[in-house]
Each structure stands twice: as structure tokens, then as C-alpha cells.
A and B are shown apart, each in its own frame.
Chain A
Amino acid sequence: MWRDAAFWILAVLSVGTGAAVFVVDSMARATFALLASFLCVGAVLLLIDLHYLGVLVVLMMIMEMLVMAVFMIMYMMNPAGLMPMTMVHNHRNALGISAGVFVLLAGGILTVRWPHREGAPPADPTRALGEALMGPKMLVMMVIGLAILATMIASVVLATHRGRYDQDEHEHEPQPQDAHEHHAHEHHGHGGAA
């Protein structure tokens, strides 16, 4: 009973905050409305006893939305983002397209023949998930994990190389010593060629 009530409250909240993303007039509010929507989805996962997945959604979405807020505000016309702005473009066509997509998806949900449930949920879904990922899909997961880590570190290294607050301020300034050595080397090279 209370599970049904909680599900419907969370469902309405997640759709409501999802719609709020397009109604609010600031990028920060839009980002956090989207985060609220995702948190409700995470709570729904907790409700159906997928604890690990639910908490993972909460954890990842908070981090992800924070990083996204930084980028979205960075790319905006008014970088601080406190001036009101609209979150929608191409208003009329967008409404038509989204209504069409909604009808299509809702029609699919209502008309398709859903398969009947086979088997029962495992006693420990976290362990089942881990075994599924680390059993048959082990190689793929290891490669993907390594690739993601390498990508993250490489992109940060590339992004911070010429940072304003670089660690060694003198690294990029021309050093008198270097210039002299370079010159001498060049001179020597000429001598060798001759």
C-alpha cells in the first residue's frame, strides 16, 4: 500500500521536475530540476529493492549534474547565469514533435504484448549484477573501465596544460639559459654541415 503511494508520488515528482526543466528561467534551476527528476527515479529503483542501482543513480547523477551545471553555465551568454533566460527554442515545432513522440511511445506501451515474468528476482541483486558484469562480460568491462579512466585523466591533462594557474609559472616563459643553449646548438649544427 505505502509502496504504491510512494511510487505514484515519486512518479509525479519526477515527471513534474522533468517538465520544470523547460519552464524555469535559469540554467542552474534547470540543472537542479533535472537532478531532482533523476533522484526521484533513483528512489523508485530503491523502492523495487534494487538498492545498489538506486544509490548508484543517486551518486552518479549528483556528480554528473554538478559537472554539467559548470559546463552549461560556462557556455551561456551570461556566464553567471543569473539573468533570466528561456530554456526552449523553436517553441511551436518542438511542441509538435514532442507531442508526436509521446503519442508514439505511449501507443507502443499500450499496444505491445508484454512478456510474462519468468523466474524470480535473485536474493541479492547486487551480487547478481556483479556476477553478470564480471562473469561473461569481464573482458568488455575491464577494457571499458580502463578506457574511461584513461580518457578522464588524458582530458584533464590536456585541459590544464595551459591553465592560468599552472603549477609552475615559469615553465612556459623563455629562459635566457635555454635561448643561449639553443643558439649555440644551432651554430654548432651549421659548423658541422659546413
Chain B
Amino acid sequence: MSESVLVVPLLVALLAFAAAAFDAVLAASAAGSPGAWRVWDAPLREAARLLVRQRRNTLAADRLLRRTGIAVLPVAAVLAAAVLPLGGADAASDSSIGIVWFNAAEVAVWAGVWLAGWSVNSAYSLVGGYRIIAQGLAYELPHMFALITVGVGAESLRFADAVSAQHGLWFAVQMPVAFAVYLLSALAMAFWGPLASPVGRDLAGGAMAELSGADRLVFLAGRYAMLAVAAAATVPLFLGGGAGPLLPAWLWTLVKTLAVLAALVWAGHRVPVLRMDRFMGFAWTVLIPPTLLQLLVTSLIAL
């Protein structure tokens, strides 16, 4: 425990806003509007609009579960961020099992989306809620193997140890397969881009189809926060943490985080949405064998 406890939620909120702003700019640029960067404040306007809007109530909705599910998203993002080293400063909680904790917090997102989709008593939302579980089960196995590979390479489940194990060579270079798989799972954690079918347009918004007003704001904020935290975790896991020339550690951490986050947001605009059943086949038959091989190679090097 340290003073980072107070800083972490603020940092997550700022990064989530950065992701949302870049997303808005990319959307405006794709729409061909001149000076697209000027819409950077679109998320703030949208937040203000959602705050004054009335909450839509569906028939026979399960309000308790709806509120629980929506609240889970930002809470899970902050809990996942709590174990990340901030570069120079300690993590809010420098836990010896930080990587497993991160994994647990990220899986809680599935519960949040499923609850939000199920509880509003609407067919499209329900389908979206089920999609997140199918997709989650698809990405989780290769994702866990990627995280385990980092744990084996660092010979520890502590994020700080993973950073110090990369003084010679970044894990992104040492274990490229795990890095690639992690980037794909980062998209899946926030059901973003190619893995956005739980909130897909073919379902009129899927799990968040019926959410409006403050509900929608919290859900979207939690989603961007999760994307930001998934990007931020890439830095201690694969990109050497705060290591870098000239600049201080915290600045390198921030620069790397923003670079990964920008790449993830950009990928969301450039890659089509995958059907979750096809992704399941791909994840289990194509991704798992190379991740296991990567784990084997890393284990042999570690021995």
C-alpha cells in the first residue's frame, strides 16, 4: 500500500479519456471531416449528454443485477490497474501474485457484461451477454499461457519482477508469440475492435443496447478504462516497464502505454469484427499450439 492508491483511479480515468478522445478523432477522420483532431472533447460532450439523459427502463428488468453488472466494469479496471508498477513509483499494491490478480480482475469484466446484457430483459442484449462468455472462453486459454510465459521468464508472478527480468532484453523480443497473443487478448478484455461482437452493430449494440443515461456512461467509461489498463499492462509485461534512455522511468511508462493504447484504438477502426465462434476455432486450434511452444522455449531458457 502506498499513496499510489489515490493516484491509480485518476490515472485510469485519464487514460480512458485519452482512448475515448483518440477514438472520436479517428471516427471523425474516417468520416472525412476536416480538422478531425478538434473533436478530441467529444467524450466530454457525450458524458455530459448522457448524464442529463433519463435512464431507459425496460419491462421486468432485474435492476439490482443491471447496476451490479455496469459497476463491475470500471471497478475491475481499477482493481486490475492496482497491481501495475507506475515506473519509478511503486504499484498501489505490489503483490507477489500480481499477474494472477490482474487476470482475475479482467475476467470479472465478463461477469459485468453478461449481467448488463442479461438483466435488461431484451433479446439483443441477452445475445450480446452470451457472446462475451463464448469469446472469453476462446481468448482466455492462449491469454493465460501468454501470462504464464511471462511468469516463467521472470520466475515470479510479481509485475515488478517481470520488469527487472527484462533489463537485458524486452520480453516482447524474447517471447514474440506471447506478446502477440497478449495484444489480441487486450482487445478481447475490452471487447474492442475485432472482438467487439458482444456489443456489435449487428445486435444494435448488443449487451449495451438498452443502456442509456448514466448507465451507458459508466459502462462505456469502464470499457475504455479496461482497454487503457490492458494497454498499460503491456508495458511491465513485455515492454521493459520504465526502461529507456534519457527520460525518467515514469515518462517512459506513460509514453509506451499511450503508444500501445493508440495502436489498440487504431486497430479497432481498421480491423473488421470477428464472429466469436470463428475466433473460438482460431484461438483454440491455431493460437494454443504456438503459445505452448513459446512457453516450452521460455521454460528451457529459464532452466
For B103, list chain A residues within 8 Å (CB): 59
Q: Are A29 and B65 in contact (CB under 8 A)?
A: yes
**A/B pair count, beta carbons within 8 Å:** 73
For A13, list chain B residues within 8 Å (CB): none
Known: A55-B100, A59-B107, A62-B111. A32 touches B65 (CB 8 A): yes
For B95, list chain A residues within 8 Å (CB): 51
Q: Are A82 and B278 in contact (CB under 8 A)?
A: no
A63 CA / B143 CA spacing, docked (Å): 14
Any B CB within 8 A of the CB of A69: yes
A121 CA / B111 CA spacing, docked (Å): 34
Q: Give me the interface of A with B, judged by CB distance under 8 Å.
A: 26, 28-29, 32, 35, 51-52, 55-56, 58-59, 62-63, 65-67, 69-70, 80-82, 124, 126, 153, 156, 160, 163, 165, 167
For A66, list chain B residues within 8 Å (CB): 110-111, 114, 133, 136
A29 CA / B119 CA spacing, docked (Å): 10
Q: Looking at chain B, what size class is its interface with the partner chain? A: 20 to 34
Q: Are A29 and B100 in contact (CB under 8 A)?
A: no
Any A CB within 8 A of the CB of B140: yes
A66 CA / B2 CA spacing, docked (Å): 34
Q: Is the interface of A mostly helix, strand, loop or mixed?
A: helix
Q: Are A63 and B62 in contact (CB under 8 A)?
A: no
Q: Which residue of A lies closest to B106 (CB)?
A: A59
Q: Are B96 and A126 in contact (CB under 8 A)?
A: yes
A126 CA / B161 CA spacing, docked (Å): 15
Any A CB within 8 A of the CB of B126: yes
Of listed A29, A52, A55, A80, residue having the most chain B CB within 10 A? A55
- Say which residue of B104, B107, B114, B284 sits within 8 Å of A69 (CB atoms): B114
| Those of B256-297 within 8 Å (CB) of chain A | 275, 277-278, 280-281, 284
